[in-house]
Amino acid sequence: MIGIGGKRSHDTLALVTGAGSGIGQAFAAELAGRGGSVVCSDIDETAAQRTVDAIVDQGGKAVAIRCDVSQAEEVRALADDARGWFGATPTMIVNNAGVGAGGRLVGETSLADWEWTLGINLWGVIHGCHVFAPILREAGRGSIINVASSASFGSLPRMAAYNVSKAGVLALSETLKGELAGTGVHVSVLCPTFVKTNILESGRISAESNSLAGTLMRLTGMSAARVARTTLDTHDRGGLYVMPQLDAKALWRLKRAAPGVFTRGTGVLERVSPVRRDSSKGTPS
Ligand SMILES: NC(=O)c1ccc[n+]([C@@H]2O[C@H](COP(=O)([O-])OP(=O)(O)OC[C@H]3O[C@@H](n4cnc5c(N)ncnc54)[C@H](O)[C@@H]3O)[C@@H](O)[C@H]2O)c1
């Protein structure tokens, strides 16, 4: 089923993970505004319910379902619950839930922080694709939107766990794009730079990096609503890669045109970075 005017993002039966805040909340609101029925899923059920209440206040259709995306069985149960609520197969899955991590060097970042970051940011998206790609393939139509980051190709220092998790999401999305070609199921991957959300509040980020990221987010961040709109519009046009901001587009082009220069540049950034002073606070385990 494709919605109004052939646009996939209209009139969807959509499921958004991490819909209690930020980009996920914005996707849920935008999809509901485009006539969709939206399952708003989050590990924080109260937050998901707030998103639902706002959508329903605007006359939209939504329901909150708690799910920790790092747990495969919870994602399977989410698919069953969503099908029950829709009374049909979902037509769009937005694998958005994620957390922030960074500020320490490889070897200083604790293995617990690596596992936490990859467990949510990468395994969460793997679980979503593992469960929903076969359902959509069998239905012969639908949409998968995965939320990665410009970190997936930017690979800045002191963000290894986050970078690796997002590079995995990018590779998974590219793989799915090929695997699902000709099936009626369309894939997009969102790779933003800063977006104004609550991600820094719950992340495992060293104090100085958090403060620097907060400043950059305030100065350069795009609104989550605009990011969601741009992503859905790009998805409707059949685009795989969504770089919503000019700096994301510039980084993407530079990395592809001159990867050696780009990587040397990140080394220069590390040497002049104010967060170097903070690295002694790491507690590896
Ligand atoms: N904000 C940015 O600058 C930015 C930039 C690039 C990519 N991203 C990505 O965007 C996505 C959304 O982040 P955001 O910025 O909106 O952050 P946010 O903190 O505002 O929202 C994230 C939501 O995910 C939920 N969540 C966390 N762990 C979960 C889990 N295990 N299972 C289910 N839900 C969980 C949180 O409760 C929260 O509601 C993330 O994947 C993030 O990596 C954000």
- pLDDT tens, residue by residue, 222-266: 999 999 999 999 999 999 999 999 999 999 999 999 999 999 999
Percentage of residues in the chain with pLDDT exceeding 70?
95
Across the range 194-198, mean pLDDT stands at 97
Lookup: tokens for 63: 């329901």
List domains and CATH numbers for the chain.
4-243+252-281 (3.40.50.720)
CA of 96 to the centre of ligand 1 (A): 6
Is residue 162 part of the annotated active site? The answer reads yes
Provide the sign of the torsion angle of the four alpha carbons 124, 127, 130, 136, taken in this order: negative
- pLDDT tens, residue by residue, 88-140: 999 999 999 999 999 999 999 999 999 999 999 999 999 999 999 999 999 99
Instruction: Output 285 or 31, whichever has higher pLDDT.
Output: 31
The residue whose two tokens read 């209690």 is 20
Q: Which residues line ligand 1 (CB under 6 A)?
A: 17-18, 20-24, 42-44, 47, 67-70, 96-99, 120-121, 124, 147, 149, 192, 194-195, 197-199, 202, 217
CA of 199 to the centre of ligand 1 (A): 6
Residue 74 Cα distances to 70, 77, 79, 124, angstroms: 8, 5, 9, 10
Predicted local confidence at residue 275, as pLDDT: 76
Angle at 260 between CA 248 and CA 148, to 5 degrees: 30
Across the range 149-172, mean pLDDT stands at 97
Q: pTM for the complete prediction?
A: 0.96
Mean pLDDT for all residues in the chain:
94
- pLDDT tens, residue by residue, 267-284: 998 998 877 755 544 444
Ligand 1 atom at minimal distance to the Cα of residue 199: 19
Predicted local confidence at residue 95, as pLDDT: 99
CA of 204 to the centre of ligand 1 (A): 13
Crossing angle for the helix pair 224-236 and 22-33, nearest 10 degrees?
50
Predicted local confidence at residue 4, as pLDDT: 54
Across the range 44-67, mean pLDDT stands at 98
Which helix (H) or strand (E) is 129 found in, with range?
helix 123-139
Does the pLDDT value for residue 192 go beyond 50? yes
Atom 17, ligand 1: residue with shortest CA distance: 199
The residue whose two tokens read 């990867």 is 259
Q: Which residues, 6+ apart, have CB-to-CB distance to 279 below 8 Å?
A: 103, 104, 105, 108, 158, 206
Catalytic residue among 27, 123, 153, 162: 162
Predicted local confidence at residue 277, as pLDDT: 56
CA of 85 to the centre of ligand 1 (A): 24
Percentage of residues in the chain with pLDDT exceeding 90?
92
